[in-house]
Structure formats: C-alpha cells, structure tokens
Structure 1
C-alpha cells in the first residue's frame, strides 16, 4: 500500500517542469503540444520571474541557410572544444525557435508585418522582443493551452524509484504544505547560480543543478561560465548598451579600451555588458594604480547618449532597469552628460549545469534539463554575441519539452518510493531542528567573499583558489548554525546550501583544470594545453561526496576536425 498521502500533498502529472523562467516556459509549452498533462512550478510569481524579463530584450538569430557556417565558426572560435552536435542543432533551430516564440505570443520588432532581423556586426544578427512582458505573454498562452501552474512552490529534491526520476519534493511558501510531485518525466529549468549578488537575478541560486547532483546526475564544465559584467557603481547593476565602451577612462582621464584592445577603435563594434575585454581592460588599469574607472559622457547631447545604447523601438516595453541613463536621471539624480560616473566590474553568475545529450536528457532516466541549469557545451568559448542566452533558453527548453513528453508517452508511471520520500522530507525539514544564531543571509554573504573577488574567480591561481575554498567551507560550517523558523527561512537555508555547492564545484573543477581556456584563466597555467586538457570535467556524487572525472571531447565523431 502506498502511504505517500501521509507524507504530504501528492500531485501527479505526466511532465513536471521545475522553474518557470524562459527555458521552463518553453519546455512546458512544447511538452503540451504532445497532449500530455504538464505541470509547471516555480518558487516565485510565474510571469515575473527568471532572467528574461529583466534582460535586454535581445534574441540572437541565424538565417537557416547560414546555420552550418555559423556552427563551424563557433567550433573554430572554441578551438574545437565545443559539443559540435549541439552547436549544429542550436544553429539550425534558431529560426524555428524565433517563429515558435512569435506564435506563442511574444511581441517582436517588426517591419511590414515580418519580424525585423537586425545586423549588429559581421554575420551577427538579432531581433528585439518585449522582454518585460515576455513571460506574461507565454504564461497566457500556456494557460490557454492547458498547462497547469503552481507558483510559490520551492522544489528542493528529486524523487527516484528503481533508478528513475519520478518527481520532486517541494515546500509551499504560502500555504506551509509539503508537496510530493509524481511525474513520468521531470525537467529542471531553474537557472544556474547568481549567488544573490546581482540585484536583478537574485532568484537564480543553483538549486536545480544541486538537486540533480544529489539525485546522481552528472554536472559538466563547472569551471567555465563565471561571468562578470560592467556597470555604473551608483546603480549597482550592469550597463545596458553596445557603444559605451568608447567612453571608458581611468582616473587620469585617459581612454582605456584603445590601450588594451586597439582593434575595437577601428570600425563599428557591438560591445556588450558581459564582454570580457572590457572587464580585462578595467582590471589591468586598476592593478596598474590607475583606478577607479569612469564613464565620461560629458558634453554629449541626450540623442548622442541614447545612440550608444541598444536600439529602442516604439511599441516594445522598456523596463526602467534596462534604460540605464533614464534610471540615472530619475532615480539617482545624475545627469550623465554633466558628470563622470564611476564604474565597477560586477559578478553576475556562474556554476556548471547538468550534463545533457542532444535530446535534453541528463544522465538519469526520466530527468531532463534546459536553460542555464543544463550544460550542453554548445559554445566551448566560441560564439559570443548578444541574445544567445535567451535563444539558448528557448531552444534547450523546446528540445527538453518535446523529448520529455515523448518519454512520458512511452513509459508508464512509477509510484513514489515511500521510504525514499520519507528520508528526503526528513532531510529537507531537518534544519528546522538546528540551534543557532546565524541567518542564512550571512552564509550567502560569506560565499560572496569567495566567488566575487576577481583575484579568486577571474585571475585564478591555485593557492588563491584554495583560500577561496576555505572561505566556502567556513560558509558551509555556518549552515549548521542556521535555525529556520518557517518555510521561508527554510527555503533561504536550502538556497544558501545550493550556493555553497555551486562555489565548491566551480573551484574544485578550476583547480583540476591546469590550463587556461575560454573563460577559465589560470595565472599559474596561462597557456591552453590541448595535449593534456582537451577534455571536459564531470562531477557526480559517489559515496556521498563529489567525484571529479574527465571526459575526452569526442572530436573524432564530429563534423569538423582540428
């Protein structure tokens, strides 16, 4: 007899999607096309959550006839370190993904009734969409098509039976209930880890990869993906714009980009807030004693300042947080044309995702992943341009949704294992028995001290990374003194635990990779080492501890060879 009802509220579906951001919403919509029962849950308010609504509203695009060449270019830019199967599939899916999003309700920039594709550089194409209203539009379509939704539900761990993922444990943040979700297939689409450091991405805290790891799924490439952006210090957020880099100067008033990257001063370039060249130039100037770095727009007219940002289009909502100059004037009382503004480099997010195959499946049966909670290695350090993050969320979401629905249609439901569920719930609720005087926020701040400083996480070196790991261990020790008093506190505890896991995995993999490649730079190993390190690093749980191993890049099976 199954007594799961005594453990909590049991809810069944064919496909369970964890996380209702861009990737999760796309996964749910695509799964529903197969006429299966789809349930979408999120810890926040569905429609206003995730990273897409507060992004720049840019969607990368590749013309179908150019897709093969695009994939080859990414492959060569990555020095063949990418997963070419995924790169090829991604390039070929972009046109269909864009059309699907339009059909699902997204508002795009149009020209004579057709989606307007903009050329932002040599073979770089994008379109613009209404980012702030994007998930509200997709939510409306999803509800109309029969996707069921529950928000303010905090999913923490996956349920398994006979080696297969069969659901998840969740906490009701409003009703205080414990939920047991039972599904034929589960999709994790909860994002990577922003460590609660970037204001606008504060809900992305690494829970998905962490729960996948605890269930036995592999993670991959945790040492890559740590991203810094540059922005105005007063605002505490990134600077949205593609030409502001031309006006960055050091404390002496000297323009900095021409000193370090003279090629950017010739011709027209789109340099985004995540461009590592700007971060590199800023860091070099500060290390040389020439900081702080300023943005100097003095003397420019309002029209000239506006021309430095992304294209702005009537009819597309512009979230104030993305219009940095408007935000400066209206919220900070600063006229950007009349005073220099101090800049800073800000840590955005990082951490490796769940390893997925070409169908979005993880290394566990019944479990799929999408968006930045997954890692398909399509880039490998190549293909940098605006809008790829959103497009990747959409494509991986569509792929995972389609294949999870297919899996659900081909496999019968397995019941929840009562003993495993009881043990899982005990683990989830056990922190409420703690005695201590530490707030979960203190743990998060301690993790910040390990992952945010560039001396640890950008200019990496063995002794400094070990020092950072010591800080992370101290954060873990503090967790045992966090005493949650309600489910909100308990969710914050588990989020802090996920942040600790993400930081541990990033530094452990970064220490293991003794070379420099893509976004991973080692001062003590400054060169790329294809002889010893032309392989990906995987992480999975063995005997209660993380096991790091290597997986050779299977370039012999790919289209393009070095």
Structure 2
C-alpha cells in the first residue's frame, strides 16, 4: 500500500497554521505568545507566500491623525454596498494601528523617506534586503521557537468524531508523508484566481477553501470578483513585476472615504466597449516620497502599467480581498467545525463587502485577523486533550493523495490546468456575466470534473502538487459559477448584464456554499443583519452612486427604484 511505501514524518503541536503569508505569520506569533506549541507549514516558503510579498500598502486607523470610526463605517458600508460584516470591520478599527507598530518594531516596514533607499543605490521602488519581509518573517518565527515546515503540499484536513485533529500532505522534495497532529488548525491559505501562465503570484489556488469545504465548513464570497487588467504584450506581467528584484515597500494608508477612490469594475466596462488609452489608468500625480505623507494625503501607489494596449486577461476569478473564503460563524474567525479557524484571504470576513473600498485593507486585514485567529485557536486548543490520528485515516488519506502517481494512464495536469484557465479566464465569464454564458461554462466545468480532473496522472511530486491544485481550482470554479448564477442582480464587483441593478429586497444577503449529505453543492442565502443594511429608504440613486451599464433603463422597465 502507498502509505507503507512512503516514509511518514510526524509533527505534534497544539496549533497548526497552514500558510506562511501575513495572516499565517500573525496567527503563529499570537498562538505562540499564548504559550502553546505552534507549527506553521507552507507549500512554498514562509514569508514568500501568496500575495504577501507583493503587498505595498497597510490601512491604519489612527484617531490621533483625525480618523473617525463612524466615518470609516459609513464609507465602507457605502463602498461595500451594504454587504460588509461590521463586526470584523470594527476589528480593523480596533487593531490595525497596533499591528502596524509591531511591523515597524520588527523592521518589516520602514517609516523613513524614499531618499534613504537612494543613498544605497537601490531603486526607490525596491526594498533593501535587510528590511525584506521574506527574510525577517521566518527569522522572527524561528526566534520565537515556532516550528516551520516548508515545501509541503497539504491535501486534506483530518477529523475524528468531534473535531479537526490535524492535516496530511507530502513533501515536495523528499516525497515523505507529512502528518500533522494538532488540537486546532488555522487556515491562512489565501484565495486564488485563474491566471495567465507566468503570472508571478502562482501559489494561491483556493487550497484552504477546498479543504474546509470537504471538511464540512461553509464557503462564501464566490460571487464577487476582483480583477486585473493587463496589456497585450506579456499579458501575465500585470505591473511589469518581472523587473522587481526586491519586494515593494509597505506604505501606511487611510481607510475608506466616502469621496475617495475605490476599486470598482468600471475599467471593465470601458475595456469591454472600447479599450481606452493607457493614460486614463495612470495616476494624476506621483505618490509622495515620505511614507507618512503617503498615509496622511491618502495617495494611491500605482506600479508601472503593463505594456501594450489595455486588455483583460492577467487574472480573473480573484475574490475581493477578505470577502471570499471560509465563512465565520462568530467573531473569532471560527469556521463552525470544532478546531478549525481561518484568517486573511482564506476567511470570508466581508470587511470589504461587495467591492474593495480602499488600498491597504488586504494586508492590514490579514495581520489583524491572523492575530485574532491565533488567539481564538489558542484558547480552544488549551481546553482540548490530545487526539490520535488513526492509522486507518492516515492510510486512506495517503492513498487518495498519492493515487495520481500510481495511475498507469491519465491526463497531464498541465494540460488540464490550461483547459481550466481557458474556460474561466475570459473576462466575459466572471466579470461581464450573463445567464447563458454562466450556464454554458458551468456545463464545461462539470464535464472537466467528471472526465478530466478525476483522471489526471502525475509523473513526479511537482505534477502531483499541480493535480491537487487543479482539483481545488476546479471545485472553486463550480462554486463561483453557481454563486454568480444565484445572485440575480448587480452589486459592487458583481455585474450581470441580464440583471444590471441592485435588488435590496432580495439580495442584501451573502451566499453560503456547503457540501450536502449527498456530496452535492448546496447554496443558501445568509441575510445581512438589518442594523448593517444602512438606510434602505434612501433614494436608490443616492444610496448607490456608481452606475452599471444599462442600469437606469433596466430599473425603468421593471418599475423599481
């Protein structure tokens, strides 16, 4: 049997953190501070995981600089189009400054002006190696005596009759079975997307969503899309990131403002109708050189634009930061499955609602939620007894994990992955949506699941990792398509050509996705609490200031406003 052919490397801990980005870093630190034994694992390397190396802004609430909590709440409700979870957004208000000060103390962020970089002959857009978070984060974890296990693809969460008791995966180089026993698990696995080959953020493939879904948790936020337009020269290179030797500096930013900019899908409409010139996407003035001025003036840091004519195609299917992932059943990052927590882009905390309201919320939200999840998981783990993973569970999980290596025939996962990307990446599937296109794409995804995904063959560990990633991405493709079909309205970054207006009567609600008893996907509405819905009696055009194409005409025809 496979489990006997492979050597098993066992790790025992109180809290297991899966994912080594900002959320995972903070989750591990906080659980460790509570006196528990912590292990953090990543399929790449800690500190270089997911979107963390590319983040360059960190939203901070600071009353000493004039920030008003009610103004922040009013702004995020408006820009998130009243699908914001204010319990989690209040965490941002309460904790973001403390988390930023910790990053300053650790040297992960630096408050000095850009001229400091120039004295070392380093481009002002590049970080000095001594302040590189990819180096400092692992160093800080090591100094805290937190076990780091890297280059491990986790494929499955392990459960007993009561709770999650660990996880299993394989080592990318040694092929060992990596068995983790834990009293609590925190998923900090990020989100994902359907990306052009060569896109640098390649490791985010919805792994946590898939594992949590299969373990019985609910998933949310699949009906709202972030996006990245690109150029027709090297379409994978969204911001000419191949020229970046070091990671970007992290700049402090304000939170949402009613009159300030937000990330809407308006550029999609422009590109869909007629690609505008590049200068329409350029910032009107460069950001200030002093990081503190950057925060105080609320500037937007726009990296270099892609080359060529603006088109869609770098990445689609990305969720709005912090609005996609494992649904929390309380205010402690808890999944509802005993022993399972989540943070960052793996948690559908809905602090942004239906659209990204301002820069910096992604990284700051990961730090805040990672800290909170680490604390909650530590409390749970401290009250638990050790659980033993049965040999039968290990054997069956190992069989499933390594099965593609044992197949005598099958499809190459690289080819299946490309078929999946070709199916999901076109902007007219998930960004400019319509019922017939969504149904047709769902039909294709179901065919892939039944006929290709189940028959992939891996020749080595790298292809085996891709097999599992393709499985996770295909499952999430089904989630996204079903959720987008279910939401028969347009709101925030969800645009339906056949329903181009908001429908507050039916859709002040989130969509939760879970695995039914028959193993089929089940979707249901979770209403937004009335106290978070804003003034529903406000005139439509005042309540919602951003217009979708055809919206007002549609409202006239259906008689609603």
TM-score by length of structure 1 reads: 0.79
Secondary structure (helix, strand or coil) at the match of 1:10 reads strand
1:509 aligned residue: 483
The corresponding residue for 2:325 is 353
Match of 1:555? 530
Aligned equivalents of 2:459, 2:28: Cα separation in 1: 34
Give me the whole-angstrom Cα distance separating, in 1, the residues matched to 2:6 and 2:416.
33
Match of 1:450 among 391, 414, 423: 423
| CA distance in 2 between partners of 1:312 and 1:240 (Å) | 21
Cα deviation code 1:84-117 (max 9, x no counterpart): 21122222222122112223331222379xxxxx
| 2:50 partner SS | coil
- For residues 500 and 226 of structure 2, the distance between their equivalents in structure 1, rounded to whole angstroms, comes to 19
Counterpart CA distance in 2 for 1:130 and 1:462 is: 49
In 1, the alpha carbon distance for the partners of 2:34 and 2:232 equals 48
Q: Which residue of 2 is the match for residue 522 of structure 1?
A: 496
Structure 1 position 467 matched with structure 2 position 440: yes
Alignment match, 1:8: 8
Counterpart in 1 of 2:471? 497
**Which residue is equivalent to 1:221?**
221
Report how far residue 532 of structure 1 moved: 1.7
Question: Structure 1 residues 7 and 422 mapped into 2: Cα distance closer, same or farther (>3 Å)?
Answer: farther
Distance 2:384 2:409 in 1: 46
The aligned runs of 1:19-30 (5 Å cut-off) are: 19-30=19-30
CA RMSD of aligned residues (A): 3.0
User: Secondary structure in 2 aligned to 1:524?
Assistant: coil
The answer to whether the Cα contact below 8 Å between 2:195 and 2:316 also exists between their aligned partners in 1 is no
State how far apart, in whole Å, the 1-side matches of 2:58 and 2:109 are.
12
* Cα distance in 1 between the residues matched to 2:148 and 2:303: 32
- Post-superposition CA distance 1:100-150 (Å, at most 9, x none): 2223331222379xxxxxxxxxxxxxxx98898223222211111111101
* Counterpart pick for 2:398 among 425, 433, 445: 425
Is the partner of 2:338 in helix, strand or coil?
Answer: coil
What corresponds to 2:203 in structure 1? 203
Cross-structure match for 1:88: 90
Residue 48 of structure 1 deviates from its aligned partner by: 2.5
Distance verdict in 2 for CA 1:452–1:196, change over 3 Å:
closer
Tell me the distance in 1 between the aligned counterparts of 2:287 and 2:162: 48
Q: Does 1:281 align with 2:248?
A: no
Gaps of 5+ in 2: 115-125, 242-258, 292-301, 537-561
| Partner of residue 99 from structure 1, selected from 91, 98, 101 | 101
- CA shift, 1:203, in A, is 0.6
Question: Residues 67, 6 of structure 1: CA spacing in aligned structure 2 closer, same or farther, 3 A cutoff?
Answer: same
Secondary structure in structure 1 of the residue aligned to 2:332: coil
Aligned length: 481
Tell me if the contact between 1:450 and 1:469 (Cα under 8 Å) persists in the aligned partners: no
Deviation at 1:480, TM superposition (A): 3.0
Specify the alignment match of 1:391 in structure 2: 364
Matched, 1:170 2:172: no
1:80/1:323 CA distance change after superposition, 3 Å: closer
Is the partner of 2:182 in helix, strand or coil? strand
Are 2:278 and 1:295 aligned?
yes
Whether contact under 8 Å (2:6, 2:175) holds in the other structure is no
In structure 2, do the counterparts of structure 1 residues 270 and 380 end up closer, same or farther at CA, with 3 Å as the change threshold?
closer
Partner of 1:540: 514
Using the size of structure 2 for normalisation, the TM-score is 0.79
Which of 330, 333, 344 does residue 311 from structure 2 map onto?
344
Would the aligned equivalents of 2:7 and 2:176 in 1 still touch at CA under 8 Å? no
Equivalent-residue separation in structure 1 for 2:157 and 2:309 (angstroms): 45
Q: CA deviation at 1:497?
A: 0.4
Partner secondary structure for residue 89 of structure 2: helix
Matches within 5 A, 1:113-262: 133-197=132-196, 199-224=199-224, 226-236=225-235, 237-239=237-239
Cα distance in 1, alignment partners of residues 437 and 342 from structure 2: 33
Partner of 2:77 in structure 1?
75
User: In 2, distance between residues paired with 1:235 and 1:67?
Assistant: 43
1:130-185 residue CA offsets vs partner (Å, 9 max, x unmatched): 89822322221111111110110111100011230110011011111011100011
For residues 217-274 of structure 1, give each alpha carbon's deviation from its aligned partner in whole angstroms, at most 9, with x where no partner exists.
Answer: 11112111x2212333324322389xxxxxxxxxxxxxxxxxxxxxxxxxxx9868x6
- Matching residue of 1:402: 375
Q: 2:455 is matched with which residue?
A: 481
Deviation at 1:560, TM superposition (A): 5.8
TM-fit CA distance, 1:391? 1.0
- Residue 482 (structure 1) shift: 1.7
Contact persistence 2:20–2:48 (CA under 8 A): no
Post-superposition Cα deviations, 1:165-212, rounded to whole Å, max 9, x if no partner, equal 110011011111011100011011111112343712111011111001
Task: Classify the secondary structure of the residue corresponding to 2:333.
Answer: coil
Separation in 1, partners of 2:285, 2:200: 22
**Structure ranking higher in strand proportion:** 1
Q: CA deviation at 1:508?
A: 0.6
